[in-house]
Amino acid sequence: MRNQQITLIKYLLSALLIAGIFISAPAQKKKKRRKQNIESVIATGRSYIGTPYKWGGMSRSGIDCSGLIYNSYKTIGVNLPRTAKDQSKTGKKRGWEGIREGDLVYFKFKKKGSKWFHSGMITYVGKDKILFVHSSSSKGVVESNLLADYYKKNVKNFRRVIR
């Protein structure tokens, strides 16, 4: 009787182990795919560094901030709205404490009586710096430190598109 109980326990434990493997495998694949997608959009965004700014531009001969985000995410099959203002409403809103690489950052600047939006993509989150790639109207596509006062004080929100 005791041997039968031990055998039954072994079978049950084996079944639980196998079930656990099948349950956790898809979660691991999803996590790996998310990481690959984040790496891909960041690599695409960075590949535009040095490209001149062009309002409404979508190519390597000239691109604006929302075009950069649009093209970067398109490489992983995500179709975002075309303007920074519309993009800033897409995805899940995040706070400063929850941002990570691949998240989008949106700014609202006031200049000469008008308000305008700007967007970028977080490329690195560290203790003393947070880098983001964006298309600056004066410098073209660059990677900047989000913790610089100019950017930090004008952040409107963060959005996570890749979950």
Cα separation, 74 vs 47, whole angstroms = 14
Is residue 58 annotated as part of the catalytic site, yes or no? Answer: no
Q: Can 65 be counted among the known catalytic residues?
A: yes
The total number of residues shown for the chain amounts to 163
Which of 41, 65, 130, 133 is catalytic? The answer is 65
Catalytic entry in 53, 67, 105, 134: 134
Check if 118 is active-site. yes
State the sign of the Cα–Cα–Cα–Cα dihedral 30, 31, 32, 34. positive
The catalytically annotated residue of 68, 70, 118, 133 is 118
Helix (H, G, I), strand (E, B) or coil at 6: helix
Q: Which residues are identified as catalytic?
A: 65, 118, 134
